[in-house]
Structure 1
Amino acid sequence: MKIKWLAFSVSGLLLFGLGISMVGEAIILKYESIPFFWYGTLSLIITNSGLCLFGNAIRYRVRLDQKETFLK
């Protein structure tokens, strides 16, 4: 359970950071009148995927804390 929490949290934060960076790039592309739709859509998908993975990490962490509290 601890490995799942660590894997989900790290991958979620990495994907979220990548997605936000890509959103910034899509904004720059839009400002320069370059086609940006697919790049922006992909960046939002990556951002939301990162949030979902991080949400799962929080869920695993809460279960881990509850298990440790129960065993004490």
Structure 2
Amino acid sequence: MVIGFGVCLIQWASKRMQDGAATKDWVVAGTVALGVFNAGVSLFGRGVAESVLYQLKEKPEEESSNSKLPQD
């Protein structure tokens, strides 16, 4: 959601520039928009990293519990 919101804000800041708003207005809006977008990308990346770390942590436990089962 944060990435999508950031993209919408970037489009909004771009529209302000095209409509002839004062330079300060669209620059500030664009800076905030890019900050929101980058925060979204950062959150997404952190989520992927945490998921991979969790999967790597759980994998050895599953393998060791499976090796203790008697085989036919």
TM surpasses 0.5? yes
Please list every run of 5 or more consecutive structure 1 residues that lacks an aligned counterpart in the other structure: 1-13
Please list every run of 5 or more consecutive structure 2 residues that lacks an aligned counterpart in the other structure: 63-72
| Larger Rg over CA atoms | 2
1:21-72 per-position Cα deviation (integer Å, ceiling 9, x unaligned): 0000011111101131100100000000111111110110001111221111
- Using structure 2 for the length normalisation, give the TM-score: 0.77
- In 2, the alpha carbon distance for the partners of 1:70 and 1:43 equals 42
Please, what is the CA RMSD of the aligned residues?
A: 0.8
**Structure with bigger RCO (C-alpha 8 Å, 6+ apart):** 1
Matched, 1:44 2:34: yes
Q: Which residue of 1 aligns with 2:57?
A: 67
Q: List structure 1 segments (4+ residues) > 2 angstroms apart after TM superposition.
A: none
- Equivalent pairs counted in the alignment come to 59
